[in-house]
Amino acid sequence: MDAAGDDMFTLGGKSLSSRLFIGTGKYGADSLIPLVCAASGAQVITVALRRVDSGGRGIMGHIPGHMQLLPNTSGARTAEEAVRLARLARAAGCGNWIKIEVIADNRHLLPDGYKTAKATEILAKEDFIVLPYMNPDLYVARSLVDAGAAAVMPLGAPIGTNRGLRTKEMIAILIEDIPLPIIVDAGIGKPSQACEAMEMGAAACLVNTAIASAANPVGMAEAFGKAVAAGRKAYLAGLGPEGVRASASSPLTGFLGEGG
């Protein structure tokens, strides 16, 4: 589609007009969540399974009904734990979308790609829409494709750091090589960084900490929504080539008054 066209993002059979995904953690008050949803324009929201209350109380009571739930398996240390959490989420009425997180490393909070692929394969066979969180490793990403993932979600920097696209070159390889949507997740700290990820060709960005930790989370949510949209438009429009030497934008010859 061209930049002026209707650029819907289809994932798991659902058409999305926004390519910004948001989270529910770290807010000073859960009552901010519906305001952030509205300001950002996001349609997909992730929530840790341990915070889900099927009775409608707690965090779930603050998520607007139109949002696509993306439960995540935060806290899972093995593939088996991730699978169990995903099944519990579906049984609790959270649908069949699941963000797989398998993290046994408590110091750096880096995802285990091989356990993630194992959980992805099991759940994809059970008709889950699986979005695995992973290090931007080409071979792990290929294994996730083979396992039946609906998208892959490489980290831009360690989770919660707001340090931006520290893995930019590796993400670019995934965008070029992997035949699935690439959703940049974790580490993005500024709207300009989300815009840059989208300019590269990422399909979407998931942002939580940068919004929740801002002085004005609602204002920051709006900024991220606009930045993701701008980056996507720039990608569709086609970025101009980079050059090493200066190149004038106007002719350097034929000034007024010159010639016969």
Q: Are 181 and 144 in contact (CB under 8 A)?
A: no
Q: How far is CA 52 from the centre of its chain?
A: 21
Q: Which two tokens stand for residue 68?
A: 């696509």
Instruction: Read off the amino acid at residue 194.
Output: A
- Measured in residues, the chain has a length of 260
Instruction: Read off the amino acid at residue 3.
Output: A
Active site residue 233: no
* Cα dihedral: 11, 221, 182, 133 (round 10): -90
Find the catalytic residue in 14, 26, 99, 168. 99
Q: Which of 82, 56, 61, 62 is nearest to 71 (CA)?
A: 82
Catalytic residues: 99
